[in-house]
Chains A and B, each alone.
Chain A
Amino acid sequence: DTAVSQTPKYLVTQMGNDKSIKCEQNLGHDTMYWYKQDSKKFLKIMFSYNNKELIINETVPNRFSPKSPDKAHLNLHINSLELGDSAVYFCASSPRGYEQYFGPGTRLTVT
């Protein structure tokens, strides 16, 4: 069983489009996260949700909007995509205790 899954794995789209990435975890964790990994492999947290409540919102353009329909799911919607949004986006989940478990990533390419 996949613990943290993301769809799609690859996403190629044009500037100005709106796209969503979905994340699901079957670990029973309360907290979920979105990270962005840039072309230099640098990982930065974007958002975290705890039991469907937004906890962390780093300095991210408001074109990015996370949505958590339940504590097992955390989706990321991106409006008006820009070239600089091209990156690998990782979802993660965590029990209370800090260690985080990551999904396989979604490689977003904006052309």
Chain B
Amino acid sequence: AQSVTQPDIHITVSEGASLELRCNYSYGATPYLFWYVQSPGQGLQLLLKYFSGDTLVQGIKGFEAEFKRSQSSFNLRKPSVHWSDAAEYFCAVAISNFGNEKLTFGTGTRLTIIP
């Protein structure tokens, strides 16, 4: 079965600093990969997705992620974080199963921004 690992439970960065959130997946073939963000008390918002093609994908709010097959990773990056980026970030993988697609989520990384 597929699995997703987000090794960092909590990350603190200064406003204006760069950010990288790690995500590793376990699956035999190339999965479909996603990053979602959850602000406090809110639902999940899709930041970006990777299906195929260019391994560097751009998302909303200035985020990008890079798929590295050799490392089974899909790390999320942002060159300069803003206080409003403080939230919980989830990496997810979707596996096709003849119409039974479902997302498997990582355990999340909580991002705190300090002034």
Q: Considering the chains assembled together, what is the distance between the CA atoms of A92 and B103 in angstroms?
A: 11
Shortest distance from the beta carbon of B68 to any chain A beta carbon, whole Å:
20
Interface of chain B: mostly helix, strand, loop or mixed: strand
Stretch at the interface among A11-19, A39-47, A66-74, A76-84: A39-47
- Given known pairs A98-B96, A104-B43, the reply for A41 and B108 (CB within 8 Å) is yes
Counting contact residues on chain B (CB < 8 A from A), the size range is: 20 to 34
Instruction: Say yes or no: A90 contacts B44, CB within 8 Å.
Output: yes
Per the CB 8 Å criterion, the residue count for chain A at the interface is 26
Q: Is the CB of A104 within 8 A of B99?
A: no
List chain A residues, Cβ under 8 A from B103.
Answer: 45, 98, 100
Q: What chain A residues lie within 8 Å of B45 (beta carbons)?
A: 102
Determine the distance from Cα of A91 to Cα of B46 in the docked complex, in whole angstroms: 14
Count chain B CB atoms within 10 A of each CB in A42, A98, A102 and give the residue with the most: A98
Partner of B100, one of A48, A90, A101, A104: A48
Q: A43-B90, A45-B102, A56-B100 are in contact. Are A102 and B107 (CB under 8 A)?
A: no
Give A17 Cβ to nearest chain B Cβ, in Å.
Answer: 24
Q: Is A99 an interface position by the 8 A CB rule? A: yes
Residues in B neighbouring A31, C-beta threshold 8 A: 101
Chain B interface residues (CB < 8 Å from chain A): 32, 34, 36, 38, 42-46, 49, 51, 88, 90, 94, 96, 99-105, 107-108, 110
**Can you sample 6 A-B contacts with CB below 8 Å?**
A56-B100, A98-B34, A98-B49, A98-B51, A99-B49, A102-B36
Given contacts A45-B103, A45-B104, A99-B49, 7 further A-B contacts (CB under 8 A): A33-B102, A41-B88, A42-B107, A50-B99, A97-B51, A98-B96, A102-B36
